[in-house]
Amino acid sequence: SAPIGFAPIGINKIYNSAGEIPVAKVAKELNLPYCLSTAGSSSIEEVAAANGQGPRFYQLYMPHDDELTISLLTRAFKNGFDVCILTTDTWQLGWRHDDVATGNYAFYRGVGADLGLSDPVFQKRLATAGIDPKKEPEKAGAMWIDNVWHGRAWSWDKIPWLIRTWKQISGGKPFCLKGIQSVDDAKRAVKAGCDGIVVSNHAGRQVDGAIASLDALENIVAAIGNKTYIMYDSGIRGSDIVKALALGAKFVWVGRLWVWGLSIMGESGVRHVMKSLLADFDILMNVSGFQNVEEIDQSAIGENAVPMFKIGELKSVARVLS
């Protein structure tokens, strides 16, 4: 219904005990794409059931174990996730002061590893290690996070295998990379055969002092144009959607807004926030004179843009988005 989707955010159960389920349900109601994170705290199957016939993506954090990767991708496709997005910028968590100070690492506390604990290959790994996830949830959660995130950064050499594997499992469905910030990486993604990229700095939560994603977007669009499908993510609020589309993104992912809604009011909070965002987007298009999304282009921004955004204002926003 709009070029807006529910960005992949992990461990929703730390915000609401229902986890990802109400979020997937609202995404279906609003006919907006939903993206499930490998760090999800509900199983792939449960999320798919809640999302029904809604369009959905699966965001992969690639395990250190190829058999486990194949199992996750197979489960995702069998449950209606038609696009795979590999996140490239979080092979290890960034230095997050508040998380360290409060010990906010849910997996190590036996919370939120449901997506992994429901996987048959990972269940075999647990059994081999002699870990009973029901009796030892902390050990099981620690093994999950250590198998998927810590200790190995994948290189470009692994991308052909992953694309080929996903295409074989899915019958040729799209494969995308998330976390692209440089022109060189965008060009390599095109060369590797990626169907799309997500320009993102992980909402500023990984590299301290990273370039604002809106600046990165402008550079990348100028360099690769329509050679791949360009999506945008990081710190989105109302008018930021139009700015990203004007700079060349085809689609925008929204994360923090719906997490706030989920935290405060659960399913109804998610629904309220996202319906408000859609209304904001619709009204902004109306008062700016755009009759459809296709009319939004770079003519909407710049020194002579009327009635949209002056370039100085845009650069100001870019500096604070993350």
Compute the distance between CA of residue 24 and CA of residue 34 in angstroms, rounded to an integer.
Answer: 6
CA distances from 184 to 172, 205, 216, 295 (A): 26, 22, 11, 29
Q: Which residues are catalytic?
A: 202
6 Cβ contact list (under 8 Å, min separation 6): 23, 24, 27, 32, 33, 34, 35, 253, 254, 255, 258, 274
CA distances from 61 to 154, 288, 321 (A): 10, 39, 24
Q: What angle do CA 236, 84, 187 make, to 5 degrees?
A: 75
Compute the distance between CA of residue 277 and CA of residue 296 in angstroms, rounded to an integer.
Answer: 18
List beta partners, residue 59.
37, 85
| Strand locations in the chain (E) | 4-6, 34-37, 56-60, 83-87, 175-180, 196-199, 229-233, 251-254
Compute the distance between CA of residue 25 and CA of residue 317 in angstroms, rounded to an integer.
Answer: 32
